[in-house]
Each structure stands twice: as C-alpha cells, then as structure tokens.
Amino acid sequence: MLRNWDDLRLFLAVAREQSLSGAGKILRLDPATLGRRMARVEADIGVALFVKSPTGYALTDAGAQLLARAEQAEQAMRGATAEVAEASDALSGQIRIGAPDGCANFLLPQVCARLVEDHPGLDIQIVALPRVFNLSRREADMAIGVSAPTAGRLVVQKITDYRLHLAAAENYLGAYPPLVQVSDLQGHRLVGYIPDMIFDRELDYLAELGMARVPLASNSVSVQVNMIRQGGGVGIVHDFCLAATPGVVRVLTREVTLTRAFYLIRHADDRQNLRLSRFADALAQGIRAEVVRLEAMP
C-alpha cells in the first residue's frame, strides 16, 4: 500500500507525464530520486505500475487502476481543503493560472495584484505559455484560452471580447510611406507570429489581411509587441497592450478591426469546489473590467 499522500502525489505526476523528467520538472525533484520513490512504491504494493522504456513510463493495467483511485483521492483532498478555506470569506492557498502570454503579460499582473491585495492569504501563480494547457494533467487549476474547447471534461466560461488593430511605432511611421489603405501594407515590414507555431485557429489572422511574408516573427505576443515598439514594422496588437507601449499607435483602424474572446477553462471535477469557483468569478470580473478600462484609453 502507499505509505502517505506524498507517494500518491508523486505517482500522479509520473502517471500523467509518463516520464520521470517531465514529472520531475513539475515536482521540482531530481528524476533519479523520483525513480527511486516510484520503485519503492511498486515494492510496497507488490505489483509493477509502469512499463519502463527509453521513451518513458507507460502505465500497466495495475497502474491504470491505481491512477483512477488516486485521482479520486486527489479530488477528495482538494475538496476537503476547499471546505476548510470556505469557512472564511477570504480566499487563501495557492492557485495556478495558465494563460497565453499576451493576457499573462498585459492583463493578469494588475488583476492578480489586486486580488492578492484583497486576499493576503492567497498565492497566485501565473504560467505564461503560448499553448493550450492540459487541465486533466493538472498543469494548472484553471486556464484562460482564446477559444472554447469542445472536447474533454471541462467547464468553459466566456470572460469577455477584446479588440485588436494594426499598430506601429511613431518613429517607424515617420520613416516609411503613409498607410491610407490596406494595400499600402505591401510597402511595409510586417511583424507577426510564426505560422507553423500557431496553437489556436483564432490566432491565425494573416490570411484575413492577405499577408504571406512576415520579416519579423515570434510565437510570443510580448516579443511581437516589443519588435513593433522598437520600430521593427507594422503588426496586429491587442488594444489592451497599447497603454503599456508608449510611442506605439494604431493605424488603419477603420479598415482593419479584429475581435476575439477570452474564455476561462476549468476541469469539470472542480465544479463543486467553491473556493476555486469564487476565485474564478473574481478573476473573470477583474479581467473584464481591465479590458474595458485599457481599451477606453486613448
């Protein structure tokens, strides 16, 4: 049998990542140490939980059965922790949010700072990555996405629409021909994304603008914004980013306007977790208000 909750926690990480190195990164444990712990767990139980190979750790039938039970225990533990926290009006404990880097860099810092100010016992972790988070593997407690997923056991809540426009640095615009109509973009450098690294179709806007070549590209929104700020060229920018990028102005606003949305995504098992639900509502409200505030700025 498992000796303690910690053994169960380590087993869950290895089972979900299917490798010692991947689980070790999440747990902040050396893979060799983690391997010894898993070997001890198997010895204690008396059955093999994993099939080890150079490509990773695959679950045996016994391992798959234990995973199902371990996830039930994990959910019960999370629920018990939430019940204790709910005895107080204040939110507390650690909550991890996964978000695309545009939202993570330009919206979440101020929103989460206010939440921590209101709830001093709260620890918020923001994981900014230009990809979709796997909530089933518990990479985060909740995630923000730019589209509503249709697969998986997830609860999806639309937070708000947001707008994007073409923008460029004032010093760049002063050195290049005027932008009066969309066809004028052919005489300008484009700053944008790396087409084969787009993780969501909602982020694929180059086709809408009829642009094929991107001289300056990045998979990071923040890098793209900084390229534009440094006079690299013209690119699509979230309107809520502009307050943090003085000297960058919108162009062709009547001709090119894009609207996208942010969605808050949670695992279905957390639906009854009142602590996470209260936090999700506060987070969504904060993001919604911040988008409205920033987009209203000149």
- pTM for the complete prediction? 0.70
DSSP 35-67: HHHHHHHHHHHTS--EEEETTEEEE-HHHHHHH
Same domain, 123 and 154: yes
Q: Does residue 263 contact residue 144 with C-beta atoms inside 8 Å?
A: yes
Same domain, 120 and 33: no
Q: What CATH code is carried by the domain that includes residue 38?
A: 1.10.10.10
- Report the distance separating Cα 195 and Cα 199, nearest Å: 9
Same domain, 152 and 10: no
Same domain, 31 and 44: yes
- Report the distance separating Cα 119 and Cα 70, nearest Å: 31
- Residue 239's closest CA among 102, 104, 100, 127? 102
Q: Does residue 242 contact residue 236 with C-beta atoms inside 8 Å?
A: no
Same domain, 279 and 150: yes
- Report the distance separating Cα 172 and Cα 20, nearest Å: 49
* 87 DSSP 8-state letter: T
* Cα atoms in the 13 Å half-sphere on the side-chain side of 114: 12
- Report the distance separating Cα 56 and Cα 20, nearest Å: 7
Q: Does residue 33 contact residue 5 with C-beta atoms inside 8 Å?
A: no
- Report the distance separating Cα 90 and Cα 219, nearest Å: 38
Which residues of 170-242 form beta strands (DSSP E)? 190-192, 216-217, 234-238
Residue 215 lies in domain: 161-258
Helix (H, G, I), strand (E, B) or coil at 255: coil
* Cα atoms in the 13 Å half-sphere on the side-chain side of 246: 0
Q: How many CB atoms lie within 10 A of CB 66?
A: 21
Per-residue confidence of the chain (298 residues) as pLDDT tens digits?
556 778 888 888 898 888 998 888 888 888 899 989 889 888 888 899 999 888 889 999 988 888 888 887 877 776 666 555 554 457 889 999 999 989 999 999 999 999 999 999 999 999 887 556 565 566 788 999 998 887 777 889 999 999 999 999 999 999 999 999 998 988 899 999 887 787 667 777 777 776 778 899 998 999 999 999 999 999 999 999 999 999 999 999 999 999 999 999 998 878 778 889 999 999 999 999 999 999 998 7
Give the model's pLDDT for residue 161: 96
Domain end marker among 53, 85, 117? 85
Same domain, 289 and 144: yes
Instruction: Tell me the backbone φ, ψ of residue 62, rounded to 5 degrees.
Output: -65, -40
Q: What CATH code is carried by the domain that includes residue 109?
A: 3.40.190.10
Beta bridge partners of 122: 93
Give the model's pLDDT for residue 81: 62
Q: Does residue 125 contact residue 96 with C-beta atoms inside 8 Å?
A: yes
- Report the distance separating Cα 238 and Cα 205, nearest Å: 13
Same domain, 167 and 233: yes
Same domain, 153 and 101: yes
Same domain, 45 and 107: no
Q: Does residue 198 contact residue 137 with C-beta atoms inside 8 Å?
A: no
